[in-house]
C-alpha cells in the first residue's frame, strides 16, 4: 500500500470536461497514483470519452445505472478503494501537477506531537501524544461562471459552522477551503464512515472529522483551480447556496454542530449502497473496510465477482 493514492473523479454528463480532468490526474507527479472515474448515470457520451484511458492499468472506471448524486458516487469509490490515501476531484477541477505529492508529503509529517501549549483534552488526546494527519487541504483559485477569479485561502472557514462570529470580513462569501479535493487517510472511512447523502456532503464530513478530533493540515499554497460552470450545483437555481435544498442541508448540519457544542458524541455515517446498480465495473476492484451496511457489503461483493467473471469469460474467448 505504501503511499498509494486513489484520485476519484465523480462525474455526470460532463463529456466535454471529463477528458481534461483525467489528463490532469494522470499528469500528477506522485508516482503511486490510481484514478477511479465514477460515472454517476451519465446520459451523454462520457463513457466514450473515458474508454481510451481504460488500457492504462492505473485507471479504473465505475459506471452506475442511474444518477445517485455526488455524495453516493464518492461513497461507491470509498467502498471500492484499495489505496492508503484518497482525494476527490470534480470533473471541472484542474489540480496543479504537484498537488497530490505535496499533500502526501504533509500527510506523512506525522505522527505529530500534541504540544502541551494547546488544550488537547477537548478532542480526547493527551499532551505529547503522537497523532496522524488524517486530512490535508490547501488553498485554491475559484473561477466563477461569470469569469471572476478568487483566491480561496481563509483557514477560519474550516470552523464556520461552529464559530460564525469569526467569519466577518471574509471577502468572498464563505471563502471556503475545499474539503472534497483534500487528501484523506483512508482509515478515516473505516471508523467514521463515508459522505452523508446530501449536496453539502463535503461540509458535513469536514465537521464530523473536526468534531471527532481528527488532525487537519492546511497547506498555505494554491494547488488547484476550480472552474464553476453554468450547470454546476452551486450555480443551478435548484441547488445553489440560496436554494431550499441547501438550506435544508445546512439546518441538518447546524443541528450536528449544536450537538457537538453540547458535548454529544460524534456519530459515524454508515454508507448504504444497497440500491446502487452498475452498468460497468472495472475488473480487479476489491471491497474496502470502509464502514457500510451489511446489505451494501453483500451486494457490492456480488457485483465485484460478476465483473471478474465477465472479464475471465472475455479472456477465454479471445
Tell me how far CA of residue 8 lies from CA of 53, 87, 91, 170, in angstroms: 15, 6, 10, 30
Binned at pLDDT 50, 70 and 90, residue 174 comes out as: low
**pLDDT at residue 235 in the model:** 54
Q: Which three-class secondary structure state does DSSP give residue 207?
A: helix
Q: Is pLDDT above 60 for 266? A: yes
User: What is the C-alpha separation between 21 and 9, in angstroms, rounded?
Assistant: 8
Question: Does the reported pTM lie above 0.85?
Answer: yes
Closest CA to 268 of 216, 159, 199, 190: 190
Q: Is pLDDT above 70 for 155? A: yes
Q: What is the pLDDT of residues 13-48, one digit of tens each?
A: 999 999 999 999 999 999 999 999 999 999 999 999
Cell representation of residue 113: 506531537
Q: What is the pLDDT of residues 187-217, one digit of tens each?
A: 999 999 999 999 899 999 999 999 999 999 9
User: What is the C-alpha separation between 64 and 232, in angstroms, rounded?
Assistant: 20
Contact 299/273 with Cβ under 8 angstroms? Answer: yes
CATH of the domain at 145: 3.90.550.10
What are residue 219's DSSP bridge partners?
138
Expressed as residue numbers, the domain containing 79 is 5-317
Q: Is pLDDT above 90 for 137? A: yes
Count up the domains in the chain and report the number. 1
| Alpha-carbon torsion, ordered 96, 223, 112, 200, to 10 deg | -110
Amino acid at each position: 500500500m505504501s503511499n498509494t493514492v486513489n484520485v476519484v473523479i465523480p462525474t455526470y454528463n460532463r463529456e466535454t470536461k471529463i477528458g481534461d480532468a483525467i489528463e490532469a490526474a494522470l499528469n500528477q507527479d506522485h508516482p503511486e497514483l490510481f484514478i477511479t472515474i465514477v460515472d454517476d448515470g451519465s446520459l451523454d457520451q462520457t463513457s466514450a470519452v473515458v474508454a481510451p484511458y481504460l488500457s492504462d492499468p492505473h485507471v479504473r472506471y465505475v459506471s452506475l445505472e442511474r444518477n445517485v448524486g455526488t455524495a453516493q458516487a464518492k461513497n461507491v469509490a470509498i467502498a471500492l478503494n484499495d489505496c492508503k490515501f484518497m482525494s476527490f476531484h470534480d470533473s471541472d477541477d484542474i489540480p496543479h501537477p504537484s498537488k497530490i505529492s505535496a499533500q502526501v508529503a504533509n500527510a506523512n509529517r506525522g505522527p505529530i506531537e500534541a504540544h502541551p501549549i494547546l488544550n488537547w483534552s477537548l478532542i480526547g488526546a493527551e499532551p505529547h501524544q503522537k497523532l496522524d494527519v488524517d486530512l490535508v487541504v490547501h488553498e485554491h483559485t475559484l473561477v466563477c461562471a461569470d469569469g471572476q477569479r478568487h483566491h480561496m485561502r481563509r483557514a477560519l472557514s474550516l470552523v464556520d459552522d461552529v464559530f460564525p462570529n469569526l467569519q466577518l470580513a471574509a471577502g468572498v462569501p464563505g471563502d471556503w477551503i475545499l474539503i472534497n479535493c483534500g487528501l484523506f487517510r483512508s482509515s478515516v472511512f473505516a471508523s467514521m464512515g463515508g459522505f452523508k447523502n446530501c449536496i453539502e456532503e463535503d461540509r458535513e464530513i469536514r465537521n464530523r472529522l473536526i468534531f471527532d478530533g481528527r488532525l487537519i493540515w492546511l497547506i498555505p499554497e494554491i494547488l488547484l483551480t476550480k472552474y464553476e460552470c453554468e450547470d454546476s450545483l452551486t450555480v443551478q437555481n435548484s441547488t445553489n447556496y440560496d436554494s431550499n435544498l441547501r438550506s435544508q442541508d445546512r439546518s441538518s448540519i447546524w443541528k450536528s454542530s449544536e450537538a457537538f457544542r453540547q458535548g454529544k458524541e460524534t456519530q459515524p455515517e454508515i454508507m448504504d449502497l444497497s440500491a446502487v446498480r452498475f452498468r460497468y465495473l472495472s475488473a480487479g476492484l476489491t471491497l474496502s473496510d470502509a464502514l457500510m451496511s451489511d446489505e451494501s457489503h453483500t451486494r457490492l461483493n456480488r457485483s465485484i465477482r460478476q465483473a471478474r467473471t465477465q472479464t475471465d469469460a472475455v479472456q477465454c474467448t479471445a
